[in-house]
Structure 1
């Protein structure tokens, strides 16, 4: 699995170009074109999964940051009461 969204996007572009070239050379339903298409589907699925994972991490970070701010405010209020 790819660690970087940019690296994965580059690979998606590369495989897409290979698929298009194959389709033009051997036809849209040739075994090679279908194989490239399936490979592209897999890469796109990986990209979508990576994007979801990244978004979940962002949401968790936001929640933790908000909790930290609230805790800091509470401690400040309690220490100055």
Structure 2
């Protein structure tokens, strides 16, 4: 679906970028703005693509752990 095909590492990079865009938009325009919701939906699609791709091509564990740690660190800041 996305330009990265089935490469989990590239999809993971796109997830990081899309997540940052969504958080920035939520902080400036609100959590329920149309643009924030659009980014959230695009992020959902990317995560699904990543899950499908990671079944075909294993990603190094450290890369996944790093991405997960970033997500945990960002999430509480958004909710405050």
TM-score normalised to structure 2 length: 0.64
| Counterpart position of 2:42 | 39
Select 1:53's aligned residue among 42, 51, 56: 56
Select 1:16's aligned residue among 16, 19, 27: 19
Larger displacement relative to structure 2 (1-10 or 14-23) = 1-10
Task: Give the aligned length.
Answer: 55
- Greater radius of gyration (CA): 1
| Counterpart position of 2:65 | none
Higher RCO, Cα 8 Å, sep 6+: 2
Q: Deviations over 1:13-50 (max 9, x none)?
A: 00000000000000000000000000000000000000
TM-score normalised to structure 1 length: 0.63
Indicate the RMSD between aligned Cα atoms, in angstroms: 1.2
Unpaired runs of at least 5, structure 1: 56-81
